[in-house]
Amino acid sequence: MSSLDAMYQELILDHARHPHGKGLAPTFDGESFQVNPTCGDRIRVRVSLGDPAVGRAAGGDLAVGWPVVADLTWDGQGCSISQASASMMGDLVRGKDLSEAAALGEAFGELMRSRGRGIDPDLADRLGDAVALEGVSRYPMRIKCALLGWMALKDAVARAATGDASPARIPEGI
Amino acid sequence: MTASPALSDQELAAIRSDFPVLGRRGEDGRPLVYLDSGATSQRPRVVMDAMRDFAENHNAAVHRGAHTLAGEATEAFEDARAAVARFVGASPGELVFASGTTGAMNLLTAALGAASEGRGQGLGRRFAILPGERIVVTQAEHHSNLVPWQELAARTGAELAWLRVGADGRLRLDDLPAVINSRTRLLAFTHASNVTGAITDVGAVVAAARQIGALTVLDAAQSAPHLAVDLAALGVDFAAFSAHKMLGPNGIGALYGRAELLEALPPGFTGGSMVEIVTMREATFLPPPNRFEAGTQAVTEAIGWAAAVGYLAHLGMGRVEAHERALTARLLSGLAELPGVRVLGPAEAAGRLGAVSVDLDGVHPHDAGQYLDAQGIAVRVGHHCAQPVHRALGVHSSTRASLGLYNTAAEVDRFVAALGQVRDYFGAGL
């Protein structure tokens, strides 16, 4: 398989053609708008957070966990890599708590920086479909495409934490 | 069939051997096809040699110091200015070195901003832009000839208006009377779009501007490398262009201004090298062009640029233009055969340059560019620093092949063949 074919695996093209979670939810707790300056591609990500899980820690104490990503929706336009990556990201983090979501973002970043050498198999297993994007790591000019959605997620979560749920302003018009 | 190239196969082969990078091979082992000259052109050996010779034998600070090297460096720098000026039909005093086209446009808007704030005394008053006056640009502009004018309008309270682009990618010059009003002070427009390739009828814009006494500013970044450009004959007041798109190094470009205008214009950037007398409270400024060249200049790059224009002048811009037009015609007719490929800009080679952008139905430009790159073909993908013209043509971005004088018919054919496979590869033709 050529490097090109390794990057454009059928799974990736499938996600790009039929993206999951594309279409913005009307309500949300945090939103982010990100642009890839090299191509002008853009993405808007909205997250809604659910209440943290409450449970008994090992010692029997009551423990409050992290809020959960109850929903993640997005919209934007971009190449098949950015679209597939956003689609896979949503599948991956929906239902996870913020700590897990951040760890997955770190793991995905590590995959993108791996230059085709791969990452720890256990870590890779946790990335679900997104591990198919490993081929992108051989193309430094395209890593930003794959990370665009993840950057927006990180920012949207940060905005949710500060209670800043106002939509990101972008210039309209011709 | 298209017209035969104005450069013979032997001449073209000789030209190509002057450009070391054209010997590179792509990922697939085949020779590199470089179709991104609209972003930056490749450099002939004479340019690298001139820069190296200067650095090895003559390098010194220019316009200061009295030693032998300083004299040689100053002479070489001013000779370079004269060579570049001659190449575009200007006199040396009308050519201000800048960091590039963007730098030149910012140099000009900074100067006009200074004049608008009352700098430049009586002479500078003619450049003052007042609240409610109008600055006219076009939808076809590269961001370098748009954003600086947006900022100047915001600083001065002027109103920004623009000429639109038609469906064929050409400026709608018929709208000029409606866009230019009596309060219009300046029209900034491109000589040739870096996206559509369309060449502007400069004479028509200049004539309209003169009727109301407005200044004209020409972005010649795309035209200077590909056409014989005579700025004095075109009659524009100011113009900007870059070395790196015309076989020269990056980091240098120029602002052209008609002599009497530069004479009256106050400087926008100030500091060393542009002053006469400096006291603790004030300074007087040198005459142009030095008045506008604050700080250390890109001297080595100026030497390289002079070698580049020497190379172009030796070939003759008429022949360069004829060669590129024949290739453009071949490219356009090849693209016309491909399903799902829409050319953004004029469909015929007449009145346009060889910067040819396409929209591929169902395929994002970034993906198309990656496929082409895997075949050793270098094109530009994205918005090419011109978002509004893409929006005007109903797309976000495009895939652009832009020709240079060193490209061949065989390269054009390889590009067309590869582009024809892109939609199938991504399943867009299904």
Nearest CA among B196, B252, B247, B190 for reference residue B221: B190
Model pLDDT for residues B130-173, shown as the tens digit of each residue: 999 999 999 999 999 999 999 999 999 999 999 999 999 999 99
- Does B370 contact chain A (CB < 8 Å)? yes
Q: What number of C-beta contacts closer than 8 Å exist between A and B?
A: 50
Q: Are strands B33-34 and B377-378 parallel, antiparallel or unpaired?
A: parallel
CA dist B66 and B57 (Å) reads 17
- Does A8 contact chain B (CB < 8 Å)? yes
CA dist B132 and B358 (Å) reads 39
Handedness of CA B401, B407, B412, B414 (dihedral sign): negative
% of chain B at pLDDT higher than 70: 98
**Per this entry, what is the length of chain A?**
174
CA dist B292 and B271 (Å) reads 10
Yes or no, beta carbons of A39 and B383 under 8 Å apart: yes
Asked whether the beta carbons of B186 and B161 are under 8 A apart, the reply is no
**Per this entry, what is the length of chain B?**
430
The reply to whether B9-43+317-425 and B49-313 are identical in fold is: no
- Does A77 contact chain B (CB < 8 Å)? yes
Yes or no, beta carbons of B370 and A40 under 8 Å apart: no
Nearest CB neighbour to A4, from listed B370, B381, B383: B370
Asked whether the beta carbons of A56 and A78 are under 8 A apart, the reply is no
pLDDT at res. B233? 98
Yes or no, beta carbons of A4 and B387 under 8 Å apart: no
Which of B172, B361, B366, B393 has the highest number of chain A CBs within 10 A, making it the mutation to test binding with A? B366
Question: Looking at beta carbons, which residues of chain A come within 8 Å of B366?
Answer: 39, 41, 78-79, 81, 142, 145
- Does A145 contact chain B (CB < 8 Å)? yes
pLDDT at res. A167? 67
| Element holding B283 (H helix, E strand) | strand B283-285
Alpha helices in B180-284 (DSSP H): 202-211, 231-234, 259-264
Instruction: State the residue for tokens 């934007």.
Output: A76
Model pLDDT for residues B367-416, shown as the tens digit of each residue: 999 999 999 999 999 999 999 999 999 999 999 999 999 999 999 999 99
Q: What is the mean pLDDT of chain B?
A: 96
Q: Is the model's pLDDT at B128 over the cut of 50?
A: yes
> Nearest residue on chain A to B165, judged by CA atoms?
A174
- The domains located in chain A, with CATH, are 3-161 (3.90.1010.10)
CA atoms within 13 A on the CB side of B176: 21
Yes or no, beta carbons of A17 and B387 under 8 Å apart: no
What average pLDDT does range A127-132 have in this prediction? 93
Q: Is the model's pLDDT at A164 over the cut of 80?
A: no
Q: What is the mean pLDDT of chain A?
A: 90
pLDDT at res. A169? 72
Instruction: State the residue for tokens 């060393």.
Output: B272
Q: What is chain A's Cα-based Rg?
A: 17
Nearest CB neighbour to A40, from listed B392, B397, B427: B397
pLDDT at res. B429? 66
Which of A160-164, B40-44, B180-184, B287-291 has the lowest average pLDDT? A160-164
Tokens read off for A141: 């000019």
Instruction: State the residue for tokens 């070395």.
Output: B243
Yes or no, beta carbons of B367 and A79 under 8 Å apart: yes
Nearest CA among B256, B254, B252, B250 for reference residue B234: B256
Peptide linkage before B289 cis (omega within 30 of 0): yes
* In chain B, domain spans: 9-43+317-425, 49-313
Q: Using 50, 70 and 90 to split pLDDT, how confident is the model at A54?
A: confident
Q: Is the model's pLDDT at A67 over the cut of 50?
A: yes
DSSP state letter for B171: B
Superfamily (CATH) of domain B9-43+317-425: Aspartate Aminotransferase, domain 1 (3.90.1150.10)
Q: Is the model's pLDDT at B1 over the cut of 90?
A: no
pLDDT at res. A161? 85
The CATH label, of 3.40.640.10, 3.90.1150.10, 3.20.20.70, 3.50.50.60, for the domain at B49-313 is 3.40.640.10
